Amino acid sequence: MCSLPVPREPLHRVAVTGGTHGNEMSGVYLVRHWLQAPGELQRPSFSAMPVLANPAATAACRRYMDRDLNRTFISTFLTVRASPEDPYEVTRAQELNQLLGPKASGRAFDFILDLHNTTANVGTCLITDTAHNVFALHLCHHLQLQNPELPCRVLMYQRPGEESYALHSVAKNGLGLELGPQPQGVLRADFFSQMRALVAAALDFLELFNQGMALPAFEMEAYRTVGTVDFPRTKDGDLAGTVHPQLQDRDFQPLPPAAPIFQLFSGEDVLYEGEATVFPVFINEAAYYEKGIAFIQTEKLTFSVPALPSLTPAPTPVP
Q: Which positions are catalytic?
A: 178
Between 30 and 48, name the residue whose CB sits nearer to its own copies. Answer: 30
Answer for the pair 261, 243: CB distance below 8 angstroms, yes or no.
Answer: yes
Considering beta carbons, is residue 38 or 265 the nearer one to its own copies?
265
| Residues at the contact surface with its own copies, assessed by CB under 8 A | 29, 32-33, 61, 119, 181-190, 192-193, 238-239, 242-245, 248, 263, 265, 284-287, 289-290
226, 198, 223, 222: which is closest to 305 by C-alpha? 222
To the question of whether residue 244 is assigned a binding role by annotation, the answer is: no
Q: Which residues pair with 304 in a beta bridge?
A: 219
Whether residue 9 is annotated as binding a ligand: the answer is no
Is the sign of the CA dihedral 298, 299, 300, 304 positive or negative?
negative
Nearer of residues 29 and 303 to its own copies, judged by Cβ: 29
Of 38 and 245, the one with the shorter C-beta distance to its own copies is: 245
CB of 229 to its own copies, least distance (A): 15
**Residue 253 Cα distances to 41, 52, 269, 284, angstroms:** 35, 33, 19, 14
CA distance 228 to 100: 31
Query: Which residues 6+ apart lie within 8 Å of 279 measured at CB?
Result: 223, 252, 253, 254, 255, 297, 298, 299, 300
Dihedral, CA of residue 75, residue 78, residue 84 and residue 89, to nearest 10:
100
Is 21 annotated for ligand binding?
yes
d(CA 67, CA 64): 6
Q: How far is CA 133 from the centre of its chain?
A: 13
Which residue numbers belong to the known binding site for Zn(2+)? 21, 24, 116
